[in-house]
């Protein structure tokens, strides 16, 4: 089976690697976003997918706007590929492109469709407190993740999962599911299933305001926001920006999911139930672990933070380094 691969970020790497290592699949070319200038040194930096493709001596095409790039369109047509595989490419494909390959364009999407169509499904499913997510392979059409579904695979979401480690897990699942999808398509063992649009939800691009923490929200809402938009959620501490990158909501409802290294926090729960303060106020400090903040409903342990201009540090190092005291307020 002849394949052209479209992808850009780290998330797409496991899928391309599995395609490259499968004896029944031939990668003809890779299409990825143009190199971008990064803040440090302002040097042009290739996408992770371009780097991998060049290591395998594959042709790499990087059109600025693929729908209007005549040279790339001509090259794609000339490949006579059986299938185009698309994993987090970053540009919308025209109907002309979608109709080029014999078996169509297959997308590996990071949600259980029709839920979380759009640009940031992994982040929003965490922010919304979902207990399960997964990967869907689908036949692409001109809509935003509206094509007929092929195969699905699910994975549970743990209390301490964040956008990074969940994406890593889903990327691996996606690579395996795509291989299964392609082989079954070749044998005509898959019947595409239309999506139920009435059940669709959306995962839009993340905006700056999505990173801002509102301490009047509940502990679990803040925890889900922090892990969903990891590592960028922020608050104000002593008139400076403070990123909060890892937390733990405290309460009996979450006790079973608390990892062994935080087990001693469970011993404090009875005492903590008698403590209260204003939203954002540091109401207790767990020795060796970190500060505990009051929220609009429940308490939140600060497991990892990052002061402006500094590296991320554990909650306990933050307490010691700043000489944090009970009664200080995050805003």
Task: Tell me the pLDDT of the chain (331 aa) as tens digits.
Answer: 999 999 999 999 999 999 999 999 999 999 999 999 876 667 889 999 999 999 999 999 999 999 999 999 999 999 999 999 999 999 999 999 999 999 999 999 999 999 999 999 999 999 999 999 999 999 999 999 999 999 999 999 999 999 999 999 999 999 999 999 999 999 999 999 999 999 999 999 999 999 999 999 999 999 999 999 999 999 999 999 999 999 999 987 887 888 887 877 777 777 777 888 999 999 999 989 999 999 999 999 999 999 988 999 999 999 999 999 999 999 9
Helix (H) or strand (E) run with residue 291 in it: strand 290-294
Strand partners, 324: none
Pairwise CA distance, residues 26 & 97, whole Å? 19
Residue 1 · residue 82 · CB < 8 Å: yes
Q: Which of 221, 205, 194 is nearest to 279 (CA)?
A: 221
Quick one: tokens of 280? 């954002």
Flag whether the pTM goes above 0.85.
Answer: yes
Residue 49 · residue 12 · CB < 8 Å: yes
Q: Interior CA angle at 328 toward 273 and 225, to 5°? A: 70
Quick one: tokens of 271? 């005492």
Pairwise CA distance, residues 171 & 134, whole Å? 10
Handedness of CA 139, 140, 142, 143 (dihedral sign): positive
Residue 286 · residue 205 · CB < 8 Å: no
Residue 46 · residue 30 · CB < 8 Å: no
SS3 204: coil
DSSP 109-172: ESSSTTTTBSS-HHHHHHHTT-SEEEEEEEE--SSSS-SPEEEEEEEE--TT--HHHHHHHHHH
């Amino acid at each position: 089976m002849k394949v052209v691969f479209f992808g850009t970020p780290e998330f797409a790497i496991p899928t391309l690697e599995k395609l490259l290592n499968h004896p029944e699949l031939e990668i003809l070319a890779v299409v990825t976003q143009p190199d971008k200038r990064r803040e440090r040194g302002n040097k042009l930096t290739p996408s992770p997918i371009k780097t991998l493709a060049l290591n395998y001596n594959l042709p790499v095409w990087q059109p600025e706007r693929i729908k209007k790039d005549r040279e790339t369109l001509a090259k794609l047509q000339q490949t006579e590929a059986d299938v185009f595989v698309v994993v987090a490419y970053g540009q919308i494909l025209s109907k002309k492109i979608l109709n080029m390959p014999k078996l169509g364009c297959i997308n590996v999407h990071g949600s259980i469709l029709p839920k979380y169509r759009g640009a940031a499904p992994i982040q929003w499913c965490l922010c919304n407190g979902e207990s399960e997510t997964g990967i869907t392979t689908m036949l692409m059409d001109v809509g935003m993740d509206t094509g007929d579904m092929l195969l699905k695979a699910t994975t549970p979401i743990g209390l301490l999962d964040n956008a990074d480690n969940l994406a890593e897990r889903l990327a691996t699942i996606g690579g395996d599911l795509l291989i299964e999808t392609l082989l079954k398509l070749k044998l005509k063992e898959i019947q595409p299933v239309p999506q139920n649009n009435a059940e669709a939800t959306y995962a839009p691009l993340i905006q700056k305001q999505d990173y801002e923490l509102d301490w009047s929200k509940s502990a679990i809402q803040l925890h889900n926001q922090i892990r969903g938009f990891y590592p960028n959620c922020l608050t104000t501490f002593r008139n400076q920006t403070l990123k909060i990158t890892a937390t733990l909501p405290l309460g009996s409802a979450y006790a079973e999911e608390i990892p062994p290294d935080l087990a001693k926090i469970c011993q404090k729960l009875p005492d903590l139930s008698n403590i209260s303060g204003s939203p954002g106020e540091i109401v207790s400090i767990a020795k060796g672990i970190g500060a505990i903040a009051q929220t609009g409903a429940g308490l939140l342990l600060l497991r990892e933070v990052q002061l402006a201009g500094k590296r991320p540090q554990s909650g306990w190092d933050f307490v010691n380094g700043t000489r944090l005291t009970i009664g200080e307020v995050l805003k």
